[in-house]
Structure 1
Amino acid sequence: MPDAASRLTTLLEQLLETPLPVRVRAWDGSEAGPPGAPTLVVRNRRALRRLLFKPGELGLARAWVAGDLTVEGDLYTALALMSGLIWERGEDARSLGDILRDPAARAAVRGLVKLAGPPLPPAPPPEEVRRPGHLHTRRSDRRAISHHYDVGNDFYGLVLGPSMVYSCAYWPAPGPDATLEQAQYDKLELISRKLALKPGQRLLDVGCGWGSMAMHAAREHGVSVVGVTLSQEQAAYANKRVADEGLTDKVEIRVQDYRDVTDGPYDAISSIGMAEHVGAARYLDYASDLHALLKHGGRLLNHQIGRRPQRAEAEYHVDAFIDAYVFPDGELAPVGTTVTQLERAGFEVRDVESIREHYALTLRRWVANLEADWDRAVRLTSPGRARVWRLYMAASALAFERNRIGVNQVLAVKTPGSGASGMPLRARTWGAPDA
């Protein structure tokens, strides 16, 4: 009888109608596949059962998070080689139903079922979130934010580094002398310049995280800042940082839903990596709420991940792995949808800048931080949670590099009826003091 790796490889290639681009090592120690390629290690038959009961990305994610499946060799190379089978099969790829109408494919599935052993569906890993749909109520949003951000400040510090900024950095150029901390400082400064922050102004930082943007704006530009977050852990950490830097007279951090902020008007609003959590059903309300909180002539900087549009599909998209393990209720839309919704809310969109490549560089630095202190990361969270983050960040880095997703800074103005936007004639002179 063929060894498990050879049998598994043959059946998968028969089902997928293409050679596997990676090597396979099975639970019996046998190996098959191209020599020198990264190795997909199938540690037990349970991994197969997870894939059979949840074909596709979610089944793979469950096997990875549970430790039933792992990769030996460079993770980025392995993901890049497998991306054509998982994420990039294209709009014309056959559906599972179409595949199973093929007698050869049905035979391959029967062979996989036999190889997988007793047909009992394994329970999902405890790190998986299960909830009744994308509600985006205040309560469901609090739970979603808590799942992602209340993992532990020490864990985030390990991954993000001293800047504690959990969004795309702004890199001068890739190279050994470019530090993550400087790139994050440059991103916060870029946003401050786009918002034209000046002493005496009021800034609302929506989804303020651990307070980095709020502190930067107060320290470097002399503005008064209100930062709001739904995470208790983030707020506690941010308030301590604010106190340690002597900025309590300039920065207020609240545990508050942005929908409950009523003390406008503000001169400027920053929303950095927060709008992905809003959801399709609530996005126009989100944009309208921020519009109402700005004074006439005030600016909004909306820094948001977007995805590439596809033919004949919904405007918003939910990724199965990310929805279950990373960002519950997160929904990505093309940048054109975001701009349209902001304009529908009354904003005048004045500038859109894509910084897609910058996020790939940022994520690779975060992955390097995680891998360099892996044992501590596991102690701070759990083995499954650490595996979630490693896969999520590495796969996301490749998605940005391959232009499957992007990140955009949209600068919008609450332009008054007079039409005076207050914008400079040469808008991209963000570095100039009078911009």
Structure 2
Amino acid sequence: MNDAAPRLAALAETLLGAPLPVRIRAWDGSEAGPLGGPTLVLNHRRALRRILWKPGELGLARAWVAGDLTVEGDLFDLLDRVGGLLWERDPAAPGQDAGSRGPAALLRDPAARAAVRSLVGLARPWPAPAPPPEEALRRGGARHTKGSDRQAISHHYDVGNAFYERVLGPSMVYSCAYWSPGGSLEDAQRDKLDLVCRKLALRPGDRLLDVGCGWGSMALHAAREYGVRVTGITLSREQAAYARKRVAEEGLADLVEIRVQDYRDVKDGPYDAISSIGMAEHVGAERYRTYAQSLYGLLRPGGRLLNHQIARRPEPDEEAYRIDEFIDAYVFPDGELSPVGTTVGELERAGFEVRDVEALREHYALTLRAWVARLEEHWEEAVRLTSPGRARVWQLYMAASALGFEHNRLGVNQVLAVRTGPRSGSGMPLRAREWPA
């Protein structure tokens, strides 16, 4: 009897206390749920086992990465509907402990207990399914040492430059673009790089340190368009090799040096300016003061820092903040997000004067949607260049992140800070945001 999907739908609604937001199709071909939208397809009973063994985002993500769970229709629409259950549940009532909404409290309800027993019977959950192979990073020891950071960066970026070419396009910029109406991804990334250069007030002959230089796009733009001498640093050997090749091809080797180097090991200051674009998310909360102090010490008096960084919304209780399990296991090992206020405070404690903060939240949502479109357009190549699991990781990560920015769960900010000199002047324009053209 093919009735798995109706049974799943009824049990899910009992546990969620809400109507099922999407249609589901089970491994036996049965379907249930609302018509007219995307369908969540459980290709194997193992998908349900993964969710039962690891309830929440990580179990769902493992099922997705393994191909046990797929989507027919618009992935963004499905994630948006399901997100209301995963990320946007009503907060606890005043005086109510957050744990009272957890599994222990849920299972005090006889109907919920019966539903879980039925799910276990439907899933036949033994033994526990192993996580999808070769995708999650296995590690131990302290986080954010030089060695662990090098390993984490390699996991994320050393998956093949050709794969990133398919996703990012010719710009090879892996950070939020700066969009204008009707513009292309290439236009938006060029405009972002130029905005950073103008905020830093770069002039011919200046020394620029590009921290987390990626595939060299910022270094190339600054040298080509502004005549500055650039030192780009990255922990990814594949990125460095790719960036050096681009530098040589453009004939800019006299202006651009690319190093495989940790920011903590840079000792050849002072620099006139520092750009850090999409790198500080890897630093870690316990190392952020070191990061800020290191960059401050590398600038000359009057030098500028442009720190472009993803932010999360503040937690009511910051001690309760937990790193996202899926992101940590499959995407950015050891990556941590902080509220923008925390970032500004740490920069000020290091000695910087913060002069401007610009929020680009909507711009990142547009950027991520463009990357997902490129990935799906080049899907077969992306799978061939990496693996089916890796391609699915990036598809889910980028689509879910786009919705995170659209729903204001995530933000991204450019913080312009100055190492002020012995005099009161900062060298900034008197009118805010009159960045030099």
**In which range does the TM-score fall when normalised by the shorter chain?**
over 0.9
Q: Percent identity?
A: 74
Please state how far the C-alpha of 1:327 moved relative to its aligned partner: 0.3
Please state how far the C-alpha of 1:321 moved relative to its aligned partner: 1.0
Alignment RMSD, CA only?
A: 1.2
Structure 1 residue runs of 4 or more that deviate by more than 4 Å after TM superposition = none
What is the one-letter code of the residue matched to 2:403?
A: L
Per the alignment, residue 72 of structure 2 pairs with 72
Moved more, 88-97 or 357-366: 88-97
Please state how far the C-alpha of 1:118 moved relative to its aligned partner: 4.3
Please state how far the C-alpha of 1:142 moved relative to its aligned partner: 0.5
Q: Say whether 1:223 aligns with 2:228.
A: yes
What is the one-letter code of the residue matched to 2:195?
A: L
Match 1:233 to one of 232, 238, 262: 238
Structure 2 matches for 1:45-60, cutoff 5 A? Answer: 45-60=45-60
Q: Is the 8 A contact 2:2 2:29 kept in 1?
A: no
Q: Say whether 1:351 aligns with 2:356.
A: yes
Q: Is the 8 A contact 1:347 1:412 kept in 2?
A: yes
Per the alignment, residue 29 of structure 1 pairs with 29
Question: For residues 333 and 317 of structure 1, do their structure 2 counterparts lie closer, same or farther at Cα, with a shift above 3 Å needed?
Answer: farther
Please state how far the C-alpha of 1:263 moved relative to its aligned partner: 0.2
Please state how far the C-alpha of 1:107 moved relative to its aligned partner: 1.1
Moved more, 88-97 or 157-166: 88-97
Distance in 2, matches of 1:141 and 1:363, equals 25
Q: Is the 8 A contact 1:300 1:413 kept in 2?
A: yes
Distance in 1, matches of 2:54 and 2:419, equals 47
Match 1:142 to one of 150, 154, 161: 150
Q: Say whether 1:125 aligns with 2:149.
A: no
Match 2:193 to one of 188, 191, 197: 188
Q: Is the 8 A contact 1:315 1:334 kept in 2?
A: no
Distance in 1, matches of 2:374 and 2:320, equals 34
Match 2:310 to one of 285, 300, 305: 305
Q: Give the unaligned 5+ runs of structure 1.
A: none
Q: Is the 8 A contact 1:21 1:37 kept in 2?
A: no
Per the alignment, residue 81 of structure 1 pairs with 81
Match 1:107 to one of 108, 114, 121: 114
Distance in 2, matches of 1:202 and 1:90, equals 50
TM-score (norm 2): 0.96
SS of 1:314's equivalent in the other structure is helix
Q: Is the 8 A contact 1:308 1:405 kept in 2?
A: yes
Distance in 2, matches of 1:335 and 1:65, equals 31
What is the one-letter code of the residue matched to 2:278?
A: G
Per the alignment, residue 360 of structure 1 pairs with 365
Distance in 2, matches of 1:171 and 1:194, equals 17
Per the alignment, residue 376 of structure 2 pairs with 371
Q: Is the 8 A contact 2:211 2:274 kept in 1?
A: yes
Match 1:326 to one of 331, 343, 350: 331
Distance in 2, matches of 1:315 and 1:223, equals 44
TM-score (norm 1): 0.97
What is the one-letter code of the residue matched to 1:121?
A: A
Aligned residues: 429
Distance in 2, matches of 1:153 and 1:292, equals 33
Distance in 2, matches of 1:21 and 1:2, equals 22
Moved more, 315-324 or 51-60: 315-324
Q: Is the 8 A contact 1:315 1:337 kept in 2?
A: no
Distance in 1, matches of 2:289 and 2:321, equals 13
Please state how far the C-alpha of 1:402 moved relative to its aligned partner: 0.7
Q: Is the 8 A contact 2:315 2:321 kept in 1?
A: no
Please state how far the C-alpha of 1:372 moved relative to its aligned partner: 0.6
Please state how far the C-alpha of 1:84 moved relative to its aligned partner: 1.1
Q: Say whether 1:266 aligns with 2:300.
A: no
Per the alignment, residue 216 of structure 2 pairs with 211
Please state how far the C-alpha of 1:320 moved relative to its aligned partner: 1.3
SS of 1:24's equivalent in the other structure is strand
